[in-house]
Amino acid sequence: MGLFDNAVPGGNITKPLMIALGALLVGKMLSGRSEEQPAEPQAPAPTPASADGGLLGGLGGLLDRLRDAGHGNVADSWVGTGQNQPINANDLGSALGPQVIHEIAQRTGMDEQELLQQLSTALPGIVDKLTPNGQIPQHHQVASAFNS
């Protein structure tokens, strides 16, 4: 996997977790989702997310969601060059929102709580690896990390 080696404790990223990360950051893992699931009328997408930018509009959208939910210091620690702060699985779930978690859980076949637990463990290291100079990369750079 190259870029993601040692990004998570134990260095082991399972295929469902890669699908989940791809869904959040890239979107390529979610082709055809609009035909399979109609949008819920009471919960329109709060961000201009596209199939190319993941469910939240890519890495920047994910970080914005975390900041909006009051976890800006945590998210910024992942992007910055210092120590990565952990995030609680429930806090991550609240930041992402139930619709996003449900969508990813369906795509991966994982239980929602297990998904959140794995994402909360993996995201600090993954975001850190994607932002080696404290800068958010362009979308195509994030996408290429999932293709290598």
The verdict on residue 27 lying in a domain is yes
Range of the domain at 120: 14-31+48-147
Supply the pTM of this predicted model: 0.73
**pLDDT band with cut points at 50, 70 and 90 for residue 14:** confident
The verdict on residue 1 lying in a domain is no
**pLDDT band with cut points at 50, 70 and 90 for residue 11:** low
Q: What is the 3-state secondary structure (H, E, C) of the chain?
A: CHHHCCCCCCCCCCHHHHHHHHHHHCCHHHCCHHHHCCCCCCCCCCCCCCCCCCCCCHHHHHHHHHHHCCCHHHHHHHHCCCCCCCCCHHHHHHHHCHHHHHHHHHHHCCCHHHHHHHHHHHHHHHHHHHCCCCCCCCHHHHHHHHHC
The verdict on residue 38 lying in a domain is no
**What is the rounded distance in angstroms from the CA atom of residue 110 to the CA atom of residue 79?**
27
Q: CA distances (Å), 4 to each of 13, 54, 123, 125, in order? A: 8, 18, 11, 8
What CATH number should be reported for the domain holding residue 26? 1.10.10.690
How is residue 34 written in tokens?
A: 């609009």
User: So what's the pLDDT on residue 57?
Assistant: 75
**What is the rounded distance in angstroms from the CA atom of residue 29 to the CA atom of residue 79?**
24
The verdict on residue 8 lying in a domain is no
The verdict on residue 123 lying in a domain is yes
User: So what's the pLDDT on residue 45?
Assistant: 39
The verdict on residue 65 lying in a domain is yes
User: So what's the pLDDT on residue 2?
Assistant: 54
Query: How many domains is the chain built from?
Result: 1
The verdict on residue 40 lying in a domain is no
The verdict on residue 37 lying in a domain is no
Angle of the 139-147 helix axis to the 58-68 helix axis, nearest 10: 110
